[in-house]
Amino acid sequence: MAIHRHTRTFLVHSLVAGIAAIGPLGVAVAAERSSGAPGVTTPRPLMRLPEWIETIGGRDRAAAKPALPPAAPSHTVLTGGWNDLAEEAAARSSKDADAAADETSPPPKPDLGPETSVLTAESPPAAVPPVEAAPRPAKIAVEGRPVAPSTESEFEKPVAAPVPQSPTDAPTLAVDPASFRGVLPGKTTRDEVEASWGPGEAFVRDDNVKGMSWVMEPFERIEVTLADEVVDSIRIKLAEPLALKQLATQMEISDLRTVSILDEKGVSIGEVFPERGIVISVKPGTQTALAVLLEPLDPEPFVLRAEGEIDQSSAYAVADLQYAIEVDPRHVRAHRLLLALLCEQGRWQQALAVVEAAEKLDSADIWTRLKHAEVLLALGRVDAARSKVEDVSRFESVPPLVTAQTARLLGRVELAAEPADHQKSVGHFEEAIRKSAPLVAHQSKAIQKAAREVLLDAHLGTALAIARGTWQQKSRVIPKWIARSEAIVGEVAADDPSRLHFELTLCRGALAVVAGCSEGVEALPWVKRLLETREKLDAKVQDPWRRRQIDWEVGLGLADAIEGGLKRGDASDMLENATLTAAYMERGSERRELTDAERRAMGDLLFRIGILHSLQQGAHATAVTWFDKVVPLWEGNASFAKQGEIGRLGESFISMAISYWQVDRRDDALALSRKGVEMMVEAVDMQQIEERSLAVAYGNISTMYAEQGNAEQSRNYAEMASRAEAAEPRLR
């Protein structure tokens, strides 16, 4: 009887690990059966896996690993996985820092390697020392606090941009518009001022601005300007000069970040405290306060402060720009700066909202249109991205740099298309190279840098298109394009601040080529170079958000190296290398809004690690800790359906359920199994997988119900397993 044939089904991994492939592809392991009473499923322990599983997906490790050429440089040989390279890079970075410390005062900061948060316990961040409050002299103050006169003294700027202690810190602004003796700019009327202060002396300035003035102790003069009978500003002229630091302390604003006001010669003439709407004017060339100006909150100081701090603390820059847009939704520059930061941080949905608003504000701006295309491309909306770029390409009289950027972006669009048009992509990259190459010698440093970015990306894009496409002599052609890319980076001066970022782009591009082709480029030298570049950047970059962006790029590069190794049949040190890769990617994703494609790819990596723990070592408890991270990344992820991988996703859930069952998380195991079966049935209906592939999944659920004592459900699933196994193949 058919039921009898499946009475001894027991839990088996469908081996959807994808350990030796790009993604977890289903490989069913045959279940061993023994006799038993008809209709009763006899539970059995997890099947002992054959020895060939230890060779990673059925390949013989020794036979599959390619031998290094006889003259291979020693740095290409690894003995213990990429952690050795990471430690070597960190040691070199530390040595360089020690040497620099002999010549400079600051001690080197501790390494921010991924091991501190993923591979080992992370120490708590150091506490921020409290700001000391200076003794308060007899008060001057906004809102009724008098100012004590003081002699001129050395000034220390009130406060620099604080750096968040971790990338999870999202600073908020303590916005509190300042008032003076009950009068608030932008709110208080003329009548209310005169009712409080008495009649003032009217005046009209040369620019026809009207106002009133008073003489109030201990100040020399108080001036109020009016706009439509409402107070527009309050100017308080001090009776005696006062050190700016002392004045800021007495006004209780010394802990706020400021914006310097410079004249046309670059000389400081004042400091703005944006959150309070306070401007303190100083004697030119000194830091001695002469007057205090109170105004309604203005977005411009927030934007200026963001521009000044954007390299030191992107977290505070984002907060400033978001508030500037809240105050003035039509502030174009704030939109553009915020858009650039959000794209850097991979916060694509937020970036999309900002770029759509920016494009409405200035539909003719080419930079915004190209940025819009980049955001759409990152979100996987390839056709929409292509349309945006093609619109720009039809503009008349665009600068050569824009032509190069447009061609480069079209090349990336064709690479991301489904299916990709590699030949068309190469054509666009060639156009980008022709247009950008002469601009590298442009007199403008900004244009030089932008042109070099296009030139480098176009070379790396060409190498990638060749690697992924059907071209002849790849092993000869690809290294030439990589060598040209190296030469482009080599032309950047070693002390140029952008050199390391070009290095990072180069390493990422080379490793993407490694993942795209099994010939032409070796991964290990580029892995080493990538980790060394990361350590050098870590020594220079102070902003924790930018450090996470760098870690994300490093993680993607290492993931490409793993992919390339698998294509070459080399799975040596797989678990160790995959774990290191996951550490970088998890750190790098802390501030990102992962796209569906990124969530799928990151889940693939974490899933592979979990499967390696469960299959190689039988460490199901450890495997489950990784699977717990995978499930949220994959649930509700539309990219699986888009890529025709619903069946693969279902098989993966079935495989993970085994480990959950083994650690007695049986409700989770059943839920995952049922969910996996639903997905596999959907894939069968869409003719993406064979119906026979459901046999193992049904058999596993049958066994789970049997162990729980639910004989009826066990029999039902056993029957479904029997029918699935007997199904005729439909796919050809």
CA distance 384 to 525: 37
Q: Tell me the per-residue pLDDT of 376-400, one tens digit each, with 9 for 90 and over.
A: 999 999 999 999 999 998 888 889 9
612 and 719 share one domain? yes
226 and 342 share one domain? no
Output the CA angle 432-434-437, nearest 5 degrees. 95
322 and 237 share one domain? no
Domain finish residue from 357, 382, 398: 398
Side-chain half-sphere CA neighbours of 1 within 13 A = 11
CA distance 87 to 109: 16
| pTM to 2 decimal places | 0.79
Give the CATH number of the domain where residue 48 resides: 1.25.40
Residue 508 lies in a domain: no
Question: CA separation (Å) from 45 to 625, 715, 716?
Answer: 21, 19, 21
Residue 523 lies in a domain: no
Residue 466 lies in a domain: no
* Least confident interval from 62-71, 81-90, 231-240: 62-71
* Least confident interval from 59-63, 90-94, 328-332, 594-598: 59-63
Give the CATH number of the domain where residue 332 resides: 1.25.40.10
Question: CA separation (Å) from 277 to 74, 303, 450?
Answer: 62, 14, 37
Residue 124 lies in a domain: no
Q: How sure is the predictor about 732, in pLDDT bands with cuts at 50, 70 and 90?
A: low
Q: How far is CA 549 from the centre of its chain?
A: 5
Report the number of distinct structural domains present in the chain.
Answer: 4
Q: Tell me the per-residue pLDDT of 619-668, one tens digit each, with 9 for 90 and over.
A: 999 999 999 999 999 999 999 998 899 999 999 999 999 999 999 999 99
Question: CA separation (Å) from 630 to 518, 607, 618, 656?
Answer: 28, 6, 19, 10
Give me 267's structure tokens. 């000389």
CA distance 422 to 286: 61
Domain finish residue from 297, 321, 353: 297
27 and 97 share one domain? no
CA distance 231 to 228: 8
206 and 61 share one domain? no
Residue 54 lies in a domain: yes
229 and 334 share one domain? no
208 and 92 share one domain? no
Q: Which amino acid is located at 388 in the chain?
A: K
User: Among residues 288, 44, 308, which one has the least CA distance to residue 150?
Assistant: 288
What is the average per-residue pLDDT within 304-321? 92
Residue 15 lies in a domain: yes
Q: Tell me the per-residue pLDDT of 567-588, one tens digit each, with 9 for 90 and over.
A: 888 888 899 999 999 999 999 9
152 and 261 share one domain? yes
238 and 176 share one domain? yes
605 and 694 share one domain? yes
Residue 153's beta-bridge partner residues? Answer: none
39 and 97 share one domain? no
Q: Tell me the per-residue pLDDT of 143-175, one tens digit each, with 9 for 90 and over.
A: 433 333 333 333 334 455 555 555 556 788 889
Question: Residue 224 is part of which domain span?
Answer: 143-297
297 neighbors 304 (Cβ within 8 angstroms): no
94 and 166 share one domain? no
Residue 108 lies in a domain: yes
Q: Any residues with CB less than 8 A from the CB of 590 and at least 6 apart, and which?
A: 167, 168, 548
Domain finish residue from 297, 315, 334: 297
Residue 92 lies in a domain: yes
- Which parts of 343-407 are beta strand (E)? none
404 neighbors 456 (Cβ within 8 angstroms): no
